[in-house]
Amino acid sequence: MKTYHKWLEKLRKRAQPSGTLSQWAELLSLKNEGSAELWREHLQAILDEEERPSLDFILDLDLISAPAREESASDDQISLW
């Protein structure tokens, strides 16, 4: 239970910038059935703790909401193969 609340807290922080929920909803609508508006309402219900997501949905949200990893432009290591 404690882990879920920490996850939800992180998700809320990631969802703060304007338009973020709409972007996530659009990505979810492309991957799953349902309109972006329906997914946005579902996401908002999860953030408001009105609904509890399934483990599969939590994984999908983690993949969608994770901060982008920065690719290092200069790789100082030499490939051995």
The angle that helices 55-65 and 2-14 make with each other, rounded to 10 degrees, is: 40
pTM of the full structure: 0.77
- Residue 21 pLDDT grade (very low, low, confident, very high; cuts 50, 70, 90): very high
**How many domains would you assign to the chain?**
1
Asked whether residue 47 is domain-assigned, the answer is yes
What residue numbers bound the domain in which 54 lies? 21-66
For residue 44, being part of any structural domain is answered with yes
Residue 5 domain-assigned?
Answer: no
Give domain status of residue 59, yes or no. yes
What does the pLDDT look like over 22-74, one tens digit per residue? 999 999 999 889 999 999 999 999 999 999 999 999 999 999 888 777 665 55
Residues 6 or more apart whose CB falls under 8 angstroms from that of 54 comprise none
Whether 29 is in a domain gets the answer yes
Q: How many angstroms separate the CA atoms of 79 and 81, rounded?
A: 6
- The answer to whether residue 71 sits within a structural domain is no
56 in a structural domain: yes
Residue-by-residue DSSP string for 37-66:
HHHHHHHHHHHTTSS---HHHHHHHHHHHS
Residue 16 has pLDDT above 80, yes or no: yes
